[in-house]
């Protein structure tokens, strides 16, 4: 298809404002998916997306759409639509999708109005110079207030409130008119058809049967089946076994030209050969410079991931390699723990990302995993000026520390103005610093805070929701670091440190953490032949203490006078039980105790 007849657009919105549902109607109206095959949120292909009702991965689909020109002659266009996730953890997915488009449909729920991620995604689209088409969705809802929110949107993106389109992804009302408008307003892609081929890899997935499937957007030139291609960052060359468009499944074509979006298959099985952000060119006529690529996303939260069955370690390593292909934000390196054995320290964009990765590893690779309490990254400057980056609390340095720095975020909270007081109180408890406040309308306010990431990443959003009866929305972005009074709390069993339970917390919260953890372990660790003290300590100073009392009789006591075979059986049983025990110093701790102590919170 020549570029004049192509339109590449994405749908961006706050979570639940109806992106995937609108995408469904478009798939149906354009005939890409027929009524029989249709199911809600068609493009949410992963089980986990369907169960949770959220989009995690962006999806590209090509749809035909005919529109009569000024002379009345019908012109067949091809639209490439990219559905994107809305959650703050997946902004990185969104920004890659935006780079493959010229236009963005900015969707706003007509019963909710603008929310925090509406703003965040709009700013991303503006940074990418996309043409923005503002649209109000869910106009079928009785609670919809299209007039009011059209004003709000026009105030934000400019233009006339009457030009804000009104649709219902549920009933399909207004969706044809929206497709027409996309063709009219979104500029066709521009590129040099005669130049050496350059295509940007914006995603890739591993398929058990076909190997790596790479998703690309062609910027210049043309890629054809059977020719040899080069991945510019690694210089690796491959034969293009298949190339095509996705509509809604892969359809092989005789190539992809300027502005086209599609997939390619080289038969490569090694996931590292197809890197998101890399440029694909032609081996016979290679481009001299690669495309810009994407900035590597910076993981914000780290956690240890360990197989419950130690022999699964190689499976876990292989699974992480495969997931990484599909999830550029994932980073990991091997780690060992006294308590948990061999595993990985894994970096994530946020807690939802952690949950999703863990769940995908368990489901798609049949693993049973335990994850340690998540933490952010700290920079520790020593008196001698050396700097240590800490991604695992147990590696927090001893010795003379000059300063500890923690990551901070710029948070944007949108809420009805009646909740200002409640929000301020919460943010103060979390060491927040109010930067500014604006009224979007008489009753809706935007508050901007600087907050330590560690304070926001765990239960902040739940707290915010419950204090605002669900009306507040939150978005945040990284905003550097600040010095803070942070200490490491260690947990000791009989004087031996248990690495998996160390935590870095603010000085004022150290005591509460120590008491909570020591209390939990006292409940979870079975009694031993001897007394076991549990201590929480900051450096050499003990801040909390519990004791597990000794059992009086040993297991053989009840067999006195009994027959010898029963005695032996008991001993063997005890030995088996020991296998699943970890020994910390002299103390036997069942692995379940670690799991229970780490998981509940
Ligand atoms: P996304 O997170 O933006 O992809 O949102 P979804 O498409 O998953 O929709 C979120 C919820 O809103 C789902 O329960 C949809 O059924 C519902 N929904 C989406 N569009 C409409 C609409 O036009 N009208 C009504 N009444 N509900 C809608
Ligand atoms: Mg969705």
* Whether residue 574 has pLDDT greater than 60: no
In Å, how far are 496, 580, 584 from 589, measured between CA atoms? 13, 9, 7
Tell whether residue 578 is among the known ligand binding residues. Answer: no
Distance 175 CA to ligand 1 centre (A): 14
Whether 6 and 70 have beta carbons less than 8 Å apart is answered as: no
pLDDT for res 264: 93
**Entry pTM:** 0.74
pLDDT for res 568: 65
Provide ipTM, 2 decimals: 0.99
Give one word for 256, left, alpha or beta, with left for phi > 0 and alpha for psi -120 to 50: beta
Name the percent of the chain lying above pLDDT 90. Answer: 50
pLDDT, one tens digit per residue, over 75-131 is 999 999 987 766 667 776 677 778 889 999 999 999 999 988 888 888 888 988 999
pLDDT, one tens digit per residue, over 526-572 is 888 888 999 999 988 999 999 988 886 555 555 555 556 666 665 66
Distance 419 CA to ligand 2 centre (A): 28
Cβ neighbours of 341 (radius 10 Å): 16
Distance 19 CA to ligand 2 centre (A): 5
Q: Of the residues 12, 15, 21, which should be mutated to test ligand 1's pocket, given the most ligand atoms within 8 Å of the CB?
A: 21
Whether 23 and 43 have beta carbons less than 8 Å apart is answered as: yes
Nearest atom of ligand 1 to the alpha carbon of 171: 23
Nearest atom of ligand 1 to the alpha carbon of 23: 7
Nearest atom of ligand 1 to the alpha carbon of 141: 26
pLDDT, one tens digit per residue, over 101-111 is 999 999 999 99
Nearest atom of ligand 1 to the alpha carbon of 86: 2
For the chain, the residue count is: 601
The reply to whether ligand 1 has any atom less than 6 angstroms from the CB of 15 is: yes
The ligand minimizing its distance to the Cα of 14 is: 1
The reply to whether ligand 1 has any atom less than 6 angstroms from the CB of 41 is: yes
The reply to whether ligand 1 has any atom less than 6 angstroms from the CB of 137 is: yes
Give one DSSP letter per residue of 103-139, joined into a string.
EEEEEEETTT---HHHHHHHHHHHHTTPEEEEEEE-T
Distance 161 CA to ligand 2 centre (A): 26
Tell whether residue 499 is among the known ligand binding residues. Answer: no
Distance 46 CA to ligand 1 centre (A): 18
Residue with tokens 């005939």: 31
- The residue whose C-alpha atom lies closest to atom 10 belonging to ligand 1 is 16
pLDDT band at 143 (very low <50, low <70, confident <90, very high): very high
pLDDT for res 255: 95
pLDDT, one tens digit per residue, over 150-202 is 998 998 888 899 999 999 999 999 999 999 999 999 999 999 999 999 999 88
The ligand minimizing its distance to the Cα of 45 is: 2
420-429 and 460-467 helices cross at what angle (nearest 10)?
Answer: 150
Nearest atom of ligand 1 to the alpha carbon of 83: 4
Distance 284 CA to ligand 1 centre (A): 48
pLDDT, one tens digit per residue, over 400-450 is 899 999 999 999 999 999 999 999 999 999 999 999 999 988 888 999 999
């Amino acid at each position: 298809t020549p570029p004049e007849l192509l339109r590449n657009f994405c749908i961006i919105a706050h979570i639940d404002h109806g992106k995937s549902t609108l995408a469904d109607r478009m798939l149906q109206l354009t005939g890409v998916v027929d009524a029989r095959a249709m199911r809600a949120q068609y493009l949410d292909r992963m089980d986990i997306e369907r169960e949770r009702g959220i989009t995690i991965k962006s999806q590209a689909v090509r749809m035909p759409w005919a529109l009569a020109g000024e002379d009345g002659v019908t012109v067949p266009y091809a639209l490439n639509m990219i559905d994107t996730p809305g959650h703050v953890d997946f902004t990185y997915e969104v920004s890659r999708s935006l780079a493959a488009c010229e236009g963005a449909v900015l969707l706003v729920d007509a019963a909710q109005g603008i929310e925090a991620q509406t703003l965040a995604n709009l700013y991303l689209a503006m940074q990418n110079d996309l043409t923005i088409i503002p649209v109000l969705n869910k106009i079928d809802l009785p609670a919809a207030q299209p007039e009011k929110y059209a004003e709000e949107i026009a105030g934000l993106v400019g233009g006339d409130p009457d030009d804000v389109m009104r649709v219902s992804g549920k009933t399909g009302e207004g969706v044809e008119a929206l497709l027409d408008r996309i063709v009219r307003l979104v500029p066709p892609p521009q590129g040099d058809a005669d130049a050496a081929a350059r295509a940007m890899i914006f995603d890739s997935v591993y398929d058990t049967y076909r190997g790596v499937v790479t998703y690309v957007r062609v910027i210049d030139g043309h890629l054809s089946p059977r020719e040899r291609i080069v991945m510019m960052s690694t210089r690796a060359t491959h034969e293009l076994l298949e190339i095509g468009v996705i509509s809604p499944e892969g359809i092989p074509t005789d190539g992809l030209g300027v502005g086209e979006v599609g997939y390619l298959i080289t038969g490569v099985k090694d996931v590292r050969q197809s890197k998101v952000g890399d440029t694909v060119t032609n081996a016979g006529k290679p481009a001299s410079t690669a495309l810009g690529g994407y900035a590597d996303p910076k993981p914000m939260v780290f956690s240890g991931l360990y197989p419950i069955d130690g022999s699964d370690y190689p499976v876990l390593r292989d699974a992480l390699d495969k997931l990484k292909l599909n999830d550029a934000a994932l980073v990991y390196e091997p780690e060992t723990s006294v308590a948990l054995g061999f595993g990985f320290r894994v970096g994530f964009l946020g807690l939802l990302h952690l949950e999703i990765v863990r769940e995908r590893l368990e489901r798609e690779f049949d693993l049973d995993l335990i994850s340690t309490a998540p933490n952010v990254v700290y920079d520790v400057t020593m008196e001698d000026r050396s700097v240590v980056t800490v991604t695992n609390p147990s590696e927090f340095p001893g010795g003379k520390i000059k300063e500890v720095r923690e990551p901070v975020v710029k948070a944007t909270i949108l809420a009805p103005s009646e909740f200002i007081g409640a929000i301020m109180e919460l943010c103060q408890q979390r060491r927040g610093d109010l930067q500014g406040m604006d009224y979007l309308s008489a009753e809706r306010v935007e508050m901007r805070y600087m907050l330590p990431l560690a304070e926001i990443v765990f239960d902040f959003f739940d707290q915010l929701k419950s204090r605002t009866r669900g009306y507040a929305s939150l978005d945040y972005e990284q905003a550097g670091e600040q010095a803070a009074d942070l200490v490491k709390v260690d947990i000791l069993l009989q004087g031996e440190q248990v690495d998996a339970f160390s935590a870095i917390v603010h000085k004022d919260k150290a005591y509460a953490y120590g008491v909570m953890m020591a209390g939990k372990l006292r409940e979870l660790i079975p009694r031993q032949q001897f007394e076991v003290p549990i201590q929480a300590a900051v450096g050499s100073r003990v801040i909390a203490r519990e004791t597990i009392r000794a059992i009086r009789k040993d297991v053989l006591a009840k067999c006195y006078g009994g027959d010898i075979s029963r005695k032996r059986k008991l001993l063997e049983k005890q030995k088996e039980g020991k296998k699943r025990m970890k020994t910390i110093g002299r103390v036997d701790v069942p692995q379940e105790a670690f799991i229970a102590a780490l998981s509940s919170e």
